[in-house]
Structure 1
Amino acid sequence: MRGEGEGRLFETRVRRGRTWYKLYAASVCGGVCLTWVYRATNIPEIGEKGRWALMGMLVAELCFGFYWVLTQSFRWCPIYHRTFKERLSQKYGNELPPVDIFVCTADPTIEPPVLVMNTVLSVMTYDYPPEKLSIYVSDDGASELTFYALLEATDFVRHWISFCKRFDVEPRSPAAYFSSPELHDLRYASELDRIKEMYYAMEDRIKVATNFGRVASGVNKQHKGFSEWNSQITPGNHQAIVQILIDGRDQNATDIEGNTLPTLVYLSREKRPQYPHNFKAGALNALIRVSSEISNSPVILNVDCDMYSNSSESVKNAMCFFLDEQCGQQIGYVQFPQNFNNLDKSNIYGDYISIINEVEMPGLGDSMYLGTGCFHRRESLCGRKYSEHCRMLRDMWNQVKMRKPEESTSFLEERAKDLASCTYEQSTNWGKDIGIKYGCLVEDVVTGLSIQMNGWRSIYYNPSRKGFLGISPTTLSQLLVQHKRWSEGLFQTFLSKYCPFLYGYGKIELRLQMSYATYMLWAPMSLPTLYYVTIPSLCLLKGIPLFPRISSSWFPVFVYVIIGTQAYSLGEALWCQQSFRSWWNMQRMRLMRRTCSYFFSLIDTTMQSLGLGKSSFDITAKVADHEALERLKKGVMEFGSSSPMFSVLAAIAMLNLLCLVASVPMAVVREGFKDQMALQFLLCGMLVMLNLPIYHGMFLRKDRGRLPTFLALESCLIAALACLLSLY
């Protein structure tokens, strides 16, 4: 997909310097193979000390080596795209395809209505013909508070759209814009003060209702939609609710300057306890059906409620791919990266997103579907296979669905309710061959893979101005639980019929298959990691060498592999504009994720395979208490709870600390200890350094975010017991 020529709407280029990287990768690969040779030829005889430990090291390093090979699929040939929006405007003007935008929320407690409202306002103000934008909000919590927030937004948006377009405002989420540290243009200071006053008054009204737990009785009379709520409604048991809050085809639906407003629709699909609702996948499929009845736009953008639009040009950027005459007709979806606006400067939770966005995703060739910030071609999302017929469909893209005279707003709402009923999908292919896939915690990844299997191409587009910004977890517990859910779903996918090496064989590139597998094998990679962070330290305590001596000719091989991989990892982070401290925190969190999140997900997946458990869909909280946020700003890790994951982390940290402390006297007294145990001692020392925040949380902190005392005592006891047992 190399874009060349004046008529192209985008171009594709390959990152430079790949020859040097391939030489480096080949040298590391050679070093890894030599370490395997060393392990295989230096296993003690039966009955000799350390035989089983060294055999375990061989297995662990085989796993690490093969996984490293998989990660090379990202780095072998990364590609980048650039769009030409000026050519798009010259060629199409306002004759652009209509777009349906889906915003999903599920719980007003952990996804506050104000947060949802800001995301909705940000996507209603795109630099795009407003009559061709239709925004659909799926509220799986069936909350009248969320509905009320959207109702408040319908009045404010009349002023906000005009303000944004007059003064070219970025970003167009009011909360994000007003809190921006950048100085606002003094030429419109009075207008800014006026719009800020309007926004904060609206925000206060919504927060008062949210804190009170319900909408005031007088407000209920403002819109007929409130009649849908009664005392019997619960998030898991209610009728379908569809309300068209702004009808973009109504001549009276205009902003303060008389310009057309985008359509805004509230949807809460029907839920009944006896029918499976399939979580977010079910919500998105209901949105696909309801939107097909009201607007039926050929392009669909879906965003999570916490992922506001940070660039008003994102829709036009996506259209540069879909409308490209040479290969746009084969593009099934355009994925924008996930980025976050609440990361602390030190990156205390080691957020890896910059490496994923700048290095890994560009190396896929195509793109994974990440579940948010993705523009879909409707026919690809609905299960249609790519064919020559799809070329002809694009000629109808700029046609807005015409409404029949008898189709009033109320008529459309009633028709849409049937499509959002909990029984509609029975005996159909929804969730199988049509729409978002069911039966997996990572329905987005499986859906994207299926679209690619149907012959569609996908694009990963990372513009200089980030298209979307969201909220990352603000506590360690939230982060570990989130990664547990992801890794569990990904590993389940690997074990299912959707395994990329089987499902994708002969249909997608091997490089893309390997890239999918890299993420899907997070869970099993916890086992060699756990082995590596415990057994070498225990063997150090017992005096069993697991690495070659300093004087051995094999020693430089291990040193080269260690330094080579870590130095490149650091260079990669620096290239992505991360600091050394940020990179160090990434290494810490990689260790924590593998030994906790991925290990627990492996256990859960195994239990489910044996019929002893079932998957659960945990929503990551989008709010945190004030004290936790203050600690985050200071770069202090938040523990606070007594999660079983913290027990594992603390036990591993204490085990390595005890082994290191006990081995120091041996290094001083015992002859030849330094020569034999240098790499083991270094490994144990590095693990202790990585775990410094855990020791701090166990012994030195007094705030509410520290590790609970009983958990600290428990981990010390477990670590001491493991050390004593290893000596016998």
Structure 2
Amino acid sequence: MENRIDSTVEMGEITKEIRDQHKGFSEWNSKVTKQDHQPIVKIMIDGRDKNAVDIYGGRLPMLVYMAREKRPQWPHNFKAGAMNTLIRVSSEISNAPFILNLDCDMYVNDADTIQEALCFFLDEKRGHEISFVQFSQNYDNITKNDLYGCTLSVINNVELPGIDGYGATPYCGSGCFHRRESLCGKIYSKDYTKERNIEDKNNTNKTVNELEVASKILASYNFEKETQWGGKMGLIYGCSSEDFITGLAIQCRGWKSHYYNPNRKAFLGVAPITLNDVLIQQKRWSEGMFQIFLSKYCPFIYGHGKIKLGAQMGYCIYLLWVPFSLPTLYYVIVPPLCLLHGISMFPQVKSLWFLPFAYVIVARNACSIAEALSCGDTLKAWWNWQQMWVIRWTTAHFFAFINTVVRQLGLSETTFAITGKVVTEDVLKRYEQEIIEFGSSTIMFTIIATLAMLNFFSLIGGIKKIVLDLELKVLDQLILQLSLNLLLVMLNIPVYQALFIRNDKGRIPSSILFKSIVLASLACLMPII
């Protein structure tokens, strides 16, 4: 298959032999492009056919290939647009009451998952309230110490179960079972019964060709144009975090959601294995969530009186990732520069005001370590998460903040950046050895390297000032800043290694090394008033 695909791409056309073998290719003519084509729907396996069996004789389900209509002059609304088209086409073919949403890079890890999800929907006491059941997000390519902090184990095992207690688990975009009615805009009411009346479309009596023709109409742009799809029906348009905003809208219509994290993971996917891909993914997620906070769908406004206060606050933990980048940048830049110039920012050790700072530092880290270890993480994994926390908040989330502000001013439109998942053998080898993959000259890496060099220069300068003064008073005034600066330098050890020691392709390029030294030096030479 790979060879046939490569040869087809090289020739720029599909051979007559393949066209004759697969009738679906007949619609892909020379005028069709990725962003300009008619709706295409082909039923590859007809589950009603008794001959549609696997090698063990088991019946195969219906398999449908769909490509929704796309035109350059029409907005296609990214993933949300694709999901809404799938919802409509599936209603024509099966109209099943429940829908599983699963990303293409994830697979089912437990054969009992569907039965377990149905237990929530069909529960006699609360099942009729449930709109969707969200399973935890897990990956099968995580290293022992979770190099990039992608498992989000504390979120999966502590935070989301807590939000679930308010009946408002967020919809996370994949690994989620939906009740079709709620996803299509139905408002929950107390007199809603579990006995769902499914409209009989006699689809079982339709031929494959009739189903395909009817489905193409539903996959066309004109069918959706000037309707409630993307607003009150289906996934909501206009936000790159269409999952979060859609889940919130469903809950505000009276429905409940449930979070389920079984011991045997229901679904497994592929986490990004380069730092650049991690940051692109984080930027997309955080930017979309901050858009929600600034829109009419802000949980404190849109959800007021509709969902509980605890649920509103739970949502905002994630919706406010982006603005947290500003205080993070402050602590990474200002205290080190003040240390370099001998300016005290924190109370002296002998002052009673020192105790609140010491308490917050000790309590925060002790609680964080306890949570990580209780969730099965190693101490090294916790440390890796601290490194990624600083890197993500000073780069991906900061750029997401800038992009969101620019978009709110009407100077740009929503874009959708795809996270890369295809890697070379040497990149995979370094990932398995838990070596951070830099290897490109993006502006994010320039910021990472510059901040690392700034903290290194400040630490050397601060130690020099304390040693030369030989006064205990100076050390007493600067001990907190010195400790913070030392911690930041320790967190940046992988960055220093990538700048000065490593020789592999995943190191930080020399051009960034030069720029970071110049920029950090200029920052250190600037006077601080």
| Band of TM-score, shorter chain | over 0.9
The letter for the 1-side match of 2:515 is: E
CA displacement at 1:269 relative to structure 2 = 0.5
Q: Is residue 145–residue 377 contact of structure 2 (8 Å, CA) maintained in 1?
A: no
Q: How does 1:433-452 map to 2 (within 5 A)?
A: 433-452=232-251
CA displacement at 1:388 relative to structure 2 = 4.2
Given the alignment of the two structures, is residue 538 of structure 1 paired with residue 337 of structure 2, yes or no? yes
Q: Is residue 322–residue 397 contact of structure 2 (8 Å, CA) maintained in 1?
A: yes
| Aligned equivalent of 1:711 | 512
Given the alignment of the two structures, is residue 678 of structure 1 paired with residue 473 of structure 2, yes or no? no
| Aligned equivalent of 2:2 | 207
561 and 392 in structure 1: CA distance in 2 versus 1, 3 angstrom threshold: closer
Q: Is residue 245–residue 266 contact of structure 1 (8 Å, CA) maintained in 2?
A: yes
Q: How does 1:557-572 map to 2 (within 5 A)?
A: 557-572=356-371
**C-alpha distance in structure 2 between counterparts of 1:626 and 1:417, whole Å:** 41
Q: Is residue 337–residue 373 contact of structure 1 (8 Å, CA) maintained in 2?
A: yes
Deviation string for 1:320-367 (max 9, x for gaps)? Answer: 000001110110000001101111112221225211111111010231
**Which of the residues 154, 178, 182 maps onto 1:376?**
178
**Which of the residues 408, 416, 428 maps onto 2:227?**
428
Q: How does 1:625-636 map to 2 (within 5 A)?
A: 625-636=424-435
Which ranges in structure 1 are unaligned for 5 or more consecutive residues?
1-205
SS of the equivalent of 2:224 reads coil
| Aligned equivalent of 1:149 | none
**Which of the residues 474, 478, 492 maps onto 2:291?**
492
SS of the equivalent of 2:41 reads strand
| Aligned equivalent of 1:662 | 461
Q: Is residue 39–residue 219 contact of structure 2 (8 Å, CA) maintained in 1?
A: yes
Q: Is residue 340–residue 470 contact of structure 1 (8 Å, CA) maintained in 2?
A: yes
**Which of the residues 203, 215, 219 maps onto 1:403?**
203
Q: How does 1:592-603 map to 2 (within 5 A)?
A: 592-603=391-402
The letter for the 1-side match of 2:173 is: G
Q: How does 1:201-240 map to 2 (within 5 A)?
A: 206-214=1-9, 217-240=16-39
CA displacement at 1:390 relative to structure 2 = 3.2
CA displacement at 1:624 relative to structure 2 = 0.9
Q: Is residue 483–residue 597 contact of structure 1 (8 Å, CA) maintained in 2?
A: yes
CA displacement at 1:260 relative to structure 2 = 2.2
CA displacement at 1:387 relative to structure 2 = 1.8
**C-alpha distance in structure 2 between counterparts of 1:314 and 1:356, whole Å:** 21
**C-alpha distance in structure 1 between counterparts of 2:194 and 2:479, whole Å:** 67
Q: Is residue 697–residue 707 contact of structure 1 (8 Å, CA) maintained in 2?
A: yes
The letter for the 1-side match of 2:367 is: Y
**Which of the residues 114, 123, 134 maps onto 1:335?**
134
Q: How does 1:235-246 map to 2 (within 5 A)?
A: 235-246=34-45
Q: How does 1:315-326 map to 2 (within 5 A)?
A: 315-326=114-125
| Aligned equivalent of 1:619 | 418
Q: How does 1:33-44 map to 2 (within 5 A)?
A: none
CA displacement at 1:621 relative to structure 2 = 1.2
SS of the equivalent of 1:351 reads coil
| Aligned equivalent of 1:136 | none
**C-alpha distance in structure 2 between counterparts of 1:515 and 1:210, whole Å:** 46
**C-alpha distance in structure 1 between counterparts of 2:368 and 2:46, whole Å:** 51
SS of the equivalent of 1:304 reads coil
**Which of the residues 669, 679, 702 maps onto 2:503?**
702
Q: Is residue 295–residue 400 contact of structure 1 (8 Å, CA) maintained in 2?
A: no
CA displacement at 1:213 relative to structure 2 = 4.1
The letter for the 1-side match of 2:177 is: F
Given the alignment of the two structures, is residue 273 of structure 1 paired with residue 72 of structure 2, yes or no? yes
**C-alpha distance in structure 1 between counterparts of 2:117 and 2:476, whole Å:** 59
**C-alpha distance in structure 1 between counterparts of 2:84 and 2:226, whole Å:** 15
257 and 718 in structure 1: CA distance in 2 versus 1, 3 angstrom threshold: closer
Identity of aligned residues (%): 51
Q: Is residue 284–residue 416 contact of structure 2 (8 Å, CA) maintained in 1?
A: yes
**Which of the residues 158, 162, 166 maps onto 1:359?**
158
CA displacement at 1:417 relative to structure 2 = 0.3
SS of the equivalent of 2:350 reads coil
213 and 363 in structure 1: CA distance in 2 versus 1, 3 angstrom threshold: farther
The letter for the 2-side match of 1:630 is: K
Q: Is residue 142–residue 151 contact of structure 2 (8 Å, CA) maintained in 1?
A: no
Which ranges in structure 2 are unaligned for 5 or more consecutive residues?
none
CA displacement at 1:400 relative to structure 2 = 8.8
CA displacement at 1:437 relative to structure 2 = 0.3
CA displacement at 1:389 relative to structure 2 = 5.2
455 and 665 in structure 1: CA distance in 2 versus 1, 3 angstrom threshold: same
Q: Please identify, of 680-689 and 351-360, the stretch whose mean Cα deviation from structure 2 is larger.
A: 351-360
Deviation string for 1:214-268 (max 9, x for gaps)? Answer: 4665333222112121222111011111011111112222234543221111100
SS of the equivalent of 1:614 reads coil
Q: Is residue 138–residue 151 contact of structure 2 (8 Å, CA) maintained in 1?
A: no
The letter for the 1-side match of 2:346 is: F
SS of the equivalent of 1:615 reads coil
326 and 603 in structure 1: CA distance in 2 versus 1, 3 angstrom threshold: same
Q: Is residue 538–residue 726 contact of structure 1 (8 Å, CA) maintained in 2?
A: no
**C-alpha distance in structure 1 between counterparts of 2:528 and 2:324, whole Å:** 28
Q: Is residue 134–residue 260 contact of structure 2 (8 Å, CA) maintained in 1?
A: yes
Q: How does 1:501-540 map to 2 (within 5 A)?
A: 501-540=300-339
CA displacement at 1:510 relative to structure 2 = 0.7
SS of the equivalent of 2:221 reads coil
CA displacement at 1:404 relative to structure 2 = 5.7
| Aligned equivalent of 1:290 | 89
Given the alignment of the two structures, is residue 608 of structure 1 paired with residue 410 of structure 2, yes or no? no
| Aligned equivalent of 1:162 | none
Q: Is residue 40–residue 68 contact of structure 2 (8 Å, CA) maintained in 1?
A: yes
The letter for the 2-side match of 1:209 is: R
Q: Is residue 638–residue 706 contact of structure 1 (8 Å, CA) maintained in 2?
A: yes
**C-alpha distance in structure 2 between counterparts of 1:401 and 1:263, whole Å:** 17
CA displacement at 1:582 relative to structure 2 = 0.5
Q: Please identify, of 482-491 and 251-260, the stretch whose mean Cα deviation from structure 2 is larger.
A: 251-260
Q: Is residue 476–residue 637 contact of structure 1 (8 Å, CA) maintained in 2?
A: yes
**C-alpha distance in structure 2 between counterparts of 1:708 and 1:257, whole Å:** 54
**C-alpha distance in structure 2 between counterparts of 1:301 and 1:372, whole Å:** 8
**C-alpha distance in structure 2 between counterparts of 1:392 and 1:535, whole Å:** 59
557 and 225 in structure 1: CA distance in 2 versus 1, 3 angstrom threshold: same
**C-alpha distance in structure 2 between counterparts of 1:537 and 1:403, whole Å:** 68
Deviation string for 1:474-517 (max 9, x for gaps)? Answer: 11011111111111111111000000000001110111100111
Q: How many residues align?
A: 520
Deviation string for 1:363-389 (max 9, x for gaps)? Answer: 102310001110000000000001245
**C-alpha distance in structure 1 between counterparts of 2:81 and 2:458, whole Å:** 50
**C-alpha distance in structure 2 between counterparts of 1:334 and 1:400, whole Å:** 26
**C-alpha distance in structure 1 between counterparts of 2:437 and 2:108, whole Å:** 29
Q: Is residue 209–residue 216 contact of structure 1 (8 Å, CA) maintained in 2?
A: no
**C-alpha distance in structure 2 between counterparts of 1:632 and 1:213, whole Å:** 32
Q: Is residue 283–residue 396 contact of structure 2 (8 Å, CA) maintained in 1?
A: yes
| Aligned equivalent of 1:482 | 281
| Aligned equivalent of 1:173 | none
**C-alpha distance in structure 2 between counterparts of 1:210 and 1:660, whole Å:** 55
Given the alignment of the two structures, is residue 466 of structure 1 paired with residue 268 of structure 2, yes or no? no
